[in-house]
Amino acid sequence: MAIGGKAAPLSFVAHALAVAGAVMVLVWCIYFLGGLAWEATNKALIFNLHPVLMLIGFVIIGGQAIMSYKSLPLRKEVKKVIHLVLHAIALILGIIGIYAAFKYHNESSIVNLYSLHSWLGIVLIALYGIQWIYGFLVFFFPGGTLGLRSASLPWHVLFGLLVYVLVVGNAVLGYLEKLTFLENSGLAKYGAEALLVNFTAIVTILYGVFVVMTALSPPPVEDDDGYSAI
């Protein structure tokens, strides 16, 4: 299934939303929440790494990896490497981001994996990793047979988009969870920080929408080098 409109203009909107989202989450975590740290007596600074790495790494860079096949007017092999490397970076930063949440919990004597957000996070990072490994083995090295690649490609695209949509949804769930904790601790419900978090969630959703729309749009040049739209 393909949608109307070319991929490149849609990806430009996604890039703008990515910049906006990255700036907003950094302003939230550095200005409002006090900064970022891997080691600190104020353990909340360790947790602040989690939303930054999950949004910029897992959601934004992961989205760029998805769009690369449709928005870049490059040769097949170049796009394949960009797609693979960006997904690897997103996966690594996502793993570090999840570890930062565990580190914060462990050093603050807080139990782990007690919320739906955390359950989904573990499942999605695992599915993302499985998707990357399968893609590497079948489409990159050592590479599957032509029949296997042809049969796998539509499912690889579909499963990747499904996982990504769930990743975006779980990120929004994370914003809601953290904001609820902050408001229960006295944060003004209509204050600047609360509004910033809510608008960051909206930008995240819009970014995910434009990533998916780009992935379902025709590539810059119709040839056999890109994957076919679902």
pLDDT given for residue 67 in this prediction? 96
**67 neighbors 7 (Cβ within 8 angstroms):** yes
**Does the pTM of the predicted model rise above 0.85?**
yes
Distances (CA, A) of 164 to 150, 169, 223: 22, 9, 25
pLDDT given for residue 223 in this prediction? 46
Q: Taking the chain (230 residues) in consecutive chunks of 10 residues, what is each chunk's mean pLDDT? A: 71 97 98 97 98 98 95 90 97 98 97 97 98 96 92 95 98 98 97 98 98 88 45
Distance separating alpha carbons of residues 102 and 216, to the nearest angstrom: 36
Task: Check residue 219 and report its DSSP letter.
Answer: P
pLDDT given for residue 220 in this prediction? 66
In the numeric block, which tokens belong to residue 156? 């690889």
**89 neighbors 61 (Cβ within 8 angstroms):** yes
**83 neighbors 64 (Cβ within 8 angstroms):** no
Residues recorded for the chain: 230
Token look-up 């490497």 returns 81
